[in-house]
Structure 1
C-alpha cells in the first residue's frame, strides 16, 4: 500500500505537469506533493507510537491530500491506499465514515475532471469501495479469529506441557519409590533379619552369630554399591555382569539356612532344535533391569511372607517374549485379596511388580492357594524395547 500510494502520487503529478505546463498553480501542486510525501513518510516510524499519534498522522495526510485534490482532481486516485490505511488505523465505524468521505471526494473530483455528468463516475467508485471494504473487514475478522485460535493453541500447549511435566514428575517419583524399595529397602530388611538372628544366637552359638554378621556385612557392602550406582545412573549394580549373573547373585543373597533359592536359565526351551542351541536374543537394558527388580521384589516377598523352605527362579527366553517364573512351597494366599496399589500390608512388592510389567506391555500371572505355595510369572514381549 505504501508503494501504491507513492506510485499513484508520482503518476498524478506527472500527468498534471504534462497536461498543464506553466500554470500558476504548478508550484503549489509540486509543494503540496512534497509535503504530502514527507508527511506520509513519517508514518513509517516504528509502531511504538500511540494510537492517538497514528490517528493524528492520518488526519494530516488526508488534510494535505484534500488540499491537493482541490487544486488538481487527478490526485483523487491516491485515495485508494488511504482507504486501507484508514481501515487499519481507525475503529471500524470511524474508518467507514472516513471511507465514505473519501469516496465522495473522489466522485466529485472525477466529475470535475470529466467536465460532465457520468453515471459510471457516480456509481462505479462506491461499488468498488463497498466490495473492497467488505473484503478487508472480512479478512480482518478472520485475522482476529485466527489470532484468538493461535492464542488458545499456545495456551493449550502450555497447559499440556505443564500437565505432562506433572505426570512425568509423578511417574518418576513412583519409579524411584519402586527402585528404592527393590534395592536399598530390601537390603536393609535383610540386614535387620540377619542381625536379629545373630543377636538371638550370640551367646549359644557364637560361630553362627558371626556368620550372620558377616552375611549382613556382605549385604551392606552390596547395598553401598547399589546406592552409589543408584545415585550415578539408577542402573542395577548386579547387571554389570549380565542378567544371568545378576539373578544368581540375587538368589545367593536371598538364600539362608531357612530358604534355598535355585536359579534356572533356559535360553532354548524348544526341543525341536537338534543342531545345537539357538543364540539367545539380546534383551534391552530396560527389560533386564525390570526382570532383575521383579526377581528381587518377588524373592523378598517369599522370604518375608511365605514361610517357604524352597524357591525356584526360572528365566525362559522365547522367540517373542521372555518369561520369569518365581515359585515357592510356602503357605500361599488368595491372590484376589491382594491390593493393586502400594498401600496395604504387603507394601510396594506386588503392586510394584505389576507396575513394572505393565510399563513393558507384559502380563503378570499369580497362582496360589492357602497351603499350596505360590507361582508368580511375568511375561514381557521382546518388542518392548
Structure 2
C-alpha cells in the first residue's frame, strides 16, 4: 500500500488503482523488452550477460516490490530516510544498467512515475532532469553513423511531458486537499452555528415559559398576599380568601412547571378547550386587580378545533398581556376577545389603563426583568405562524392582538 499523501490510496480509489496497474504493467513490458534485447543482441560473453540479466531482475523486483517496505511520504510530510534509500538504490541500479546495456533506457518513463511521483516537486523535477540527461548521454554514446537529432529531442520531450504531468498532478492534489480542508472547516463552522442557534432558540423558549408561568404566578401570589396583609385585621374573611387564592395559584404554578419540564401542553388546555381556558383565566384574574371580562366572537364555518400549538401560544400571550395590565397599567377593566373566523383566529386583550408610547421599544432591565413581555410575546406569535400587534398611547389604555392565519392543514407559516 502506498502512503503518498497527495495521491489516493490504490486500495481505496479505483481510478488510482487502475493507474498503478497500468504503470506497473508498462514497466514490466519495457523491462521484458530490455531483457529480450539483452539476450538476443547482447555481448557474446555469456558470463557478462548473466550478471547483467541478474541486475535487470533485481532492478525490476526492487521497483515493483521495494516500496512495500519503504512507502512514500504522506501529504505535507518529508520523505523518510527508508524511502530515499530505496529510491537511491533504484536509481543507482538503473544507472549501472544504463552504462552496461543501452536498452535500460526503455525503463525511464515508468521509472519517472513509479519512483519520483511521490517526492516533493522541488526534489522530483531536478531528479527527472538528471534522469533525462543520462538517457540522452547514453543514447548518444552508443549511437553509430550520422547524428540523429531524435536521440536528444525524444528523451527531452518525453521527460518534459512526464515532468509536466507530475507537477500538474501535484498541483491538483494540493488544490484538492485545500478544498477538502475548507469544506471540513465550513462543515464544522456550520455545525457549531446550528448548535448555537439551537441552544439560543431553546434558551428563548425556556425563558418565555418561565416568564409566562413561574414569574406570573409569583407575581399573582405576591399581590394576593399583599392584599391579605392589608385586610388581615379589618376583614379577616377577605384576607383568608386571598390566602386561599394564593395557595391555589401556587398549586397551579407547580403543576404548570411540572408539565413545562415534560414539554407538555399548558395545564389549562390539557383540561379544557381554548374558550374554557380563556374564560377561566378571566375569572381567576379579577381579584385583586382590574375586572376581567371574556368575550367570544365566532363566525359560521370557523375551524374547530384550533391546532394545539396555536392554542398554547394564544393562551400564553393572553396570560402575559393580563400580567402586564395588572402590574404596570393601573387599569380598572380588561376585556379578552377571542375571534374565530374561517381563515384566522385572533385574541385581543384591551385595557383602560395608563397606556404607553407603542412606537418606542421597551427597555429591558436586567435587574427587574421588565420589558421582557412584548418581545417574548412577539417571538411566541411568530413561532405559531402568526403576528403580534400593540396599539397604545399615553393615557389611552392598550390593546394587544395576536392573529394566526389558518389553512386547511394548519397555521400558515410567516416570516419572522
- TM-score of the superposition, structure 1-length normalised? 0.86
Q: Distance in 2 between matches of 1:170 and 1:187?
A: 25
Structure 1 match to 2:281: 250
Q: For residues 36-88 of structure 1, give each alpha carbon's deviation from its aligned partner in whole angstroms, at most 9, with x where no partner exists.
A: 23322121345579522212111111111222233332232211122234543
Q: 1:239 offset after TM fit, Å? A: 2.8
Alignment partner, residue 303 of structure 1: 326
Residue 99 of structure 1, aligned match among 116, 119, 128: 128
Partner in structure 2 of residue 274 of structure 1: none
SS in 2 for 1:89: coil
1:5 correspondence with 2:27:
yes
2:73–2:119 contact (8 Å) kept in structure 1: no
Distance 2:189 2:196 in 1: 10
Structure-2 separation of matches of 1:342 and 1:190: 20
Residue number in structure 2 paired with 1:59: 88
SS at match of 1:233: coil
Q: Does 1:351 align with 2:375?
A: yes
One of 133, 137, 151 as aligned partner of 2:167: 137
Distance 2:280 2:249 in 1: 11
1:212-246 deviations in Å (ceiling 9; x for gaps): 12211111111111111121126433332443343
Q: Does 1:197 align with 2:227?
A: yes
1:149 to 179, 187, 199: 179
SS state of the match for residue 380, structure 1?
strand
How far did 1:180 drift?
A: 0.7
Structure 1 residues 36, 189: CA separation in 2 closer, same or farther (over 3 Å shift)? same
Question: Given that residues 86 and 95 in structure 1 are in contact (C-alpha distance below 8 angstroms), is that contact kept between their aligned partners in structure 2?
Answer: no
Is contact 2:362-2:371 (8 Å) kept?
no
Question: Which ranges in structure 2 are unaligned for 5 or more consecutive residues?
Answer: 1-22, 406-410
TM-score, length basis structure 2: 0.80
Measure, in 1, the Cα distance between the counterparts of 2:60 and 2:115: 17
Distance (whole Å) between structure 1 residues aligned to residue 348 and residue 185 of structure 2: 48
Q: 2:111 aligns with which of 82, 86, 98?
A: 82
Corresponding residue number in structure 2 for 1:219: 249
SS in 2 for 1:332: coil
**Alpha-carbon distance between aligned partners in 1 of 2:365 and 2:52, rounded to the nearest angstrom:** 89
Whether 1:259 aligns to 2:283 is no
User: Is this contact kept in 2: 1:86–1:98, CA < 8 A?
Assistant: no
Per-residue displacement from partner, 1:90-112 (whole Å, max 9, x unpaired)? 34343222112211233344456
Question: How far apart, in 2, do the equivalents of 1:280 and 1:48 lie?
Answer: 70
1:330-355 residue CA offsets vs partner (Å, 9 max, x unmatched): 23232234416566884321222123
Contact 1:184 1:223 in 2 (8 A): yes
Residues 1:319 and 1:115: Cα distance change in structure 2 (over 3 Å): farther
Q: Give me the whole-angstrom Cα distance separating, in 2, the residues matched to 1:129 and 1:336.
A: 78
For these two proteins, the number of residue pairs brought into alignment is 377
| 2:391 counterpart of 1:367 | yes
Q: In structure 2, how many angstroms separate the alpha carbons of the residues matched to 1:93 and 1:351? A: 62
Residue matched to 1:331: 354
Change (3 A) 1:290 1:107: same
Asked if the contact 1:219/1:253 (under 8 Å) is kept, the reply is no
Whole-angstrom distance in 1 between the partners of 2:365 and 2:343: 30
* Deviating more after overlay: 90-99 vs 355-364: 355-364
Provide closer, same or farther for how the CA distance between residues 51 and 319 of structure 1 changes in structure 2, counting only shifts above 3 A: farther
- The gaps in structure 1 that reach 5 residues or longer are 269-276
Instruction: Report the counterpart of residue 293 of structure 1 in structure 2.
Output: 316
